[in-house]
Amino acid sequence: MRYLSVPALRHFLNDYYRVGFPALDNQLEIMWISTGCAQQLDSKSFEDPSYDRKHMLAEITGEGDLLPRNRVRLHDILWWTETGQDSKGKKVTKHNAFYLSLLAKLGSDRVLHDCWAQFVTGLTSGRRFSGGHGIAYKVVLVLIQSGRSETAAKFLEDVSQVSGDNLPGIARVSALWAFLDDPIVGDALPDLVRGEDYLELLEVCLEGMDRRMGIQWDPESQSHFSTSSEPSDTIWEAFDEQALPIIDRQRIASGHSSQLYAELQVNGCSKSPAALGRIVELLHDHDGQSQEIVTHLDYDELRLEEFHAKFESLELRWIPEYSPIEFSNSRLPAVHDSLVPWTPSTLGLIRARLIVDGVPQMGINALHLMQLGCMDMRYGPDQPWQPSGYTVVWDRHYNELLALYVGNGNGVIDCGPAPSNGPFGALMHIKLPTDPHRTLYSPFGTSTQARNCYGPYYLDVDPSPDLVY
């Protein structure tokens, strides 16, 4: 099940009630229903910011001013809500935690707080990080993304209280910057963390600010140095007489000192054209500066085995470039006028819609992407680099780095189906090499969103209704 629309959910609940099944306690089934509804909700809301969530909320919890059309709601048939059911002995797993996140997305109030209270009661106490903490942070993240900052801060306080006045492992959460950038949550966070977790949080904050400014700390000299190829690439360009020293670039950590990548992690999913414009400016600053990348090929082990068998010594690199492809019906100006507002076209935003039976799809089968450059490949360290035909893109919906096959790595193309004969498929997940000094935690396992890697995809300029001007 990839997604679950409101009519499909109603049909499921009606059949479940009619047959008279017992309380739903299959963890995987709860997960699939929750994620199916959440994916439908996410895609609809992204493409239509005014999408009304009340209909789905009514069928799941009965909250709001709409009445459910069925005699039973999803919440009524879950095992932890069954009358007389003792749920305290039941371990809260990542499967039913998806339901908590769904409630947060839907804007649930009473039911969310009831379920959260039960969840926190069963949360492992003490200062050590547990899977339960990761689940809690995921729910808090969804609340932040939904604009419910006060509830998010209150939930973090609850976690801290049962964890020895601490938030274990908070610094390793992959979406930490969303916590820090929120005015309410960011203000509350330092008071809820203590000990080693506080020191690690402080270190991550400082390192993140350094990367976004294009500088890095050198422990040997006890000073900062520029990680940009040109000193003027950083915010310190106004202090030319006090220019930061540039030392051997071999001492700069791979990829993770990238000013561009750090900005993508923070603002790659922003709804602000100005924030996305900052990424465009960094693409110009980093134009042509290659960066090693690796592929996960959708975390499909069979695809990985096939990939390594066919390309035993293949190397990949990302060459940052502003909008390497443009569409013939929406040509880019030779020079961007800073007085002219950014548009989806000048931001390099493209849409890739999966083609099914000849029809480009919307919803979860549509990718909303920002172009970041081209991907080169070579078959060994002694071989020359050559174009791969893939464009490196950022998924603005799911905050991921992807490679999309377009045939020609750059140039003017027509709107329409992209070639589907790429050597690695139509689409693949890519990432920068892992930072050996820090492992980020994704609460629900792999943080990547499953994609159709075979295509074909229909390409055009993304209308981007999510942007707020």
What three-state secondary structure class fits 408? coil
Query: Is the pTM here over 0.85, yes or no?
Result: no
Q: Mind listing the pLDDT tens digit for each residue in 425-450?
A: 899 888 888 654 444 545 444 455 66
Q: What is the pLDDT of residue 319?
A: 94
Spatial contact of 169 and 197, defined as CB atoms under 8 Å apart: yes
Q: Which of 317-321, 386-390, 435-439, 464-468 has the lowest mean pLDDT?
A: 435-439
Give the bridge partners for 354, in sequence order.
Answer: 457
Q: Determine the pLDDT at residue 431.
A: 86
Instruction: Flag the least confident range among 38-47, 82-91, 115-124, 354-363.
Output: 82-91
Q: Which of 85, 84, 92, 73 is nearest to 131 (CA)?
A: 92
The pLDDT of 89-117, averaged and rounded, is: 81
Q: What tokens were used for 400?
A: 């991921």
Q: Which of the residue ranges 6-15, 94-103, 214-223 would you say has the lowest mean pLDDT?
A: 214-223
Token pair belonging to 429: 């997940």
Q: Which residues contact 73 (CB under 8 A, 6 or more apart)?
A: 13, 58, 59, 60, 61, 62
Burial of 240 (0-12, 13-18, 19+ CB in 10 A): exposed
d(CA 111, CA 258): 43
Token pair of 277, please?
Answer: 């414009």
Say whether pLDDT at 243 is over 60: no
Q: Are 292 and 254 in contact (CB under 8 A)?
A: yes
State the average pLDDT over residues 177-194. Answer: 93
**198 Cβ contact partners less than 8 Å away, ≥ 6 residues apart:** 190
Mean pLDDT for the stretch of residues 438-466? 74
Is residue 93's pLDDT more than 60?
A: no
CB atoms within 10 A of CB 222: 7
Q: What is the pLDDT of residue 210?
A: 75
For the stretch 369-402, what's the b/e string if a residue is b when 16 or more beta carbons lie within 10 angstroms of its beta carbon?
A: bbbbbbbbbbeeeeeeeeebbbbbbbbbbbbbbb
3-state SS assignment for residue 314:
coil
* pLDDT band, very low/low/confident/very high, at 314 (cuts 50, 70, 90): confident
Q: Tell me what pLDDT residue 255 has.
A: 41
What pLDDT was estimated at residue 228? Answer: 58
**Among 75-79, 109-113, 258-262, 444-448, where is mean pLDDT lowest?**
444-448
Name every residue whose Cβ is closer than 8 Å to that of residue 450 and which is 6 or more positions away in sequence.
Answer: 298
Q: What is the mean pLDDT of residues 248-260?
A: 50
> With bands split at pLDDT 50, 70 and 90, how would you rate the model's confidence at 340?
confident
DSSP state of 369: E
pLDDT tier, 249 (very low <50, low <70, confident <90, very high otherwise): very low
Confidence of residue 14 (pLDDT cuts 50, 70, 90): confident
Could you give the C-alpha distances from 437 to 172, 200, 253, 254, 434, in angstroms and in order? Answer: 11, 12, 10, 11, 9
Please report which confidence band the pLDDT of residue 356 belongs to, taking 50, 70 and 90 as the band edges: very high
What's the rounded Cα separation, in Å, for the pair 465 and 257?
32
Higher pLDDT, 43 or 227: 43
**pLDDT at residue 198 is higher than 80:** yes
pLDDT at 308 over 80: no
- In this prediction, residue 137 has a pLDDT band, given cuts at 50, 70 and 90, of very high
Contacts of 415 (CB under 8 A, 6+ apart): 327, 328, 329, 458, 459, 460, 461
Average pLDDT of every residue of the chain: 80
- What pLDDT shows up at residue 179? 94
pLDDT of residue 245: 47
The CA-based dihedral angle spanning residues 232, 235, 237, 238, taken in that order and rounded to the nearest 10 degrees: 160
pLDDT recorded at residue 231: 44
Greater model confidence, 91 or 330: 330
- Comparing 396 with 49, the larger pLDDT belongs to 396
Phi, psi (deg, nearest 5) at residue 410 = -155, 170
Residue type present at position 317: R
Q: How many CB atoms lie within 10 A of CB 161?
A: 14
